[in-house]
Amino acid sequence: MANLQTLKFNRDTLEVIVGDGKYVVVKAFCQNIGLDYGKQHRKLKSDPTFEAKLLKVQTPGGVQDVFCIPLDKLNGWLFTINPNKTKPEVREKLILYKKECFRVLYEHFNKSTTPPAGCPAERFDSRINGYKSQIAQKNKKIEDLRWELVAAQTRLEELESRKIAGGDWIMMEYNLLDLAGALSRHKEELEAYGRQLEQIAKAHRERMQFVDHLLKNLIKHHPKTKNVAEYASKHAKKRLR
């Protein structure tokens, strides 16, 4: 038997059924917005694409058959209702439900798949470009240190071949150790920047997967939007490179 759950949205109580999938209780939604439940019931029942059905749910009054539609059909249903053809007191609330209700329900049941908060494409671009610039600078510094190290080793070999002893030899040895230490530190910094860039790339991939998921669902349930969705997908991927 399915499980009836409730959550709050805009001072209303949203009723959803969780069992073999996630479903929205149609009557409760109609009552929240102010729609004619009988009219909406007939419309949903007559159109098989909404996949409306009755589910048995345990309620305080006992087991009841509840008329519902799948959660992913919610926006499709709401967008068939023209706000301009509704009463003024219904219009504002219908528009709010169209804009926000599906997102609230989706995030409630799919918290792990929501895009990172406060990370629009511009911030990703800026952070990635910043890391690339810092890595390029570190690479140049490492290359310069390599040449200094080669020069120091050459000088040390010359001193050794001339059998120069004493303070000069010790000073050259210290300089060589200092250069080797500096090279090691810069390598460690470069590795740290590389790890940070990998984390940004991972977040990039997760964002693109989320965009693809939404666009595929849009095409699946609204085939006529295929061209627009494919253009939006290409544009989003181009922006996130």
The yes-or-no verdict on residue 60 having pLDDT over 80 is no
Q: Nearest 5 degrees, angle CA 191-CA 196-CA 202?
A: 125
104: its two tokens: 């609230």
The yes-or-no verdict on residue 171 having pLDDT over 70 is no
pTM (2 decimals)? Answer: 0.44
End position of a domain, from candidates 113, 136, 164: 113
Beta bridge partners of 168: none
Looking at the fold, whether 106 and 198 belong to one and the same domain comes out as no
Looking at the fold, whether 150 and 188 belong to one and the same domain comes out as yes
The DSSP secondary structure of 67-131, one letter per residue, reads: EEEEGGGHHHHHTTS-GGGS-HHHHHHHHHIIIIIHHHHHHHH-GGGSPPTT--HHHHHHHHHHH
CB neighbour list of residue 148: distance below 8 Å, 6 or more residues apart: 179
Among 40-49, 52-61, 174-183, 191-200, which is the least confidently predicted range? Answer: 174-183
Among 11-20, 47-56, 119-128, 219-228, which is the least confidently predicted range? Answer: 119-128
The yes-or-no verdict on residue 163 having pLDDT over 60 is no
Calculate mean pLDDT across residues 181-199: 79
How confident is the prediction for the chain on average, in pLDDT? 78
Looking at the fold, whether 83 and 179 belong to one and the same domain comes out as no
Calculate mean pLDDT across residues 133-146: 79
Q: Report pLDDT digits (tens) over 86-107.
A: 888 788 888 888 888 777 887 7
Q: Which backbone phi and psi does 56 adopt, to 5 degrees?
A: -80, 125
The yes-or-no verdict on residue 172 having pLDDT over 80 is no
Q: Nearest 5 degrees, angle CA 68-CA 80-CA 69?
A: 10
Number of separate domains in the chain = 2
Looking at the fold, whether 193 and 170 belong to one and the same domain comes out as yes
Calculate mean pLDDT across residues 125-135: 71
Looking at the fold, whether 132 and 74 belong to one and the same domain comes out as no
Domain extent at residue 59? 3-113
The yes-or-no verdict on residue 160 having pLDDT over 50 is yes
The pLDDT of residue 54 is: 92
Contact 55, 66 (CB under 8 A): yes
End position of a domain, from candidates 93, 113, 133: 113
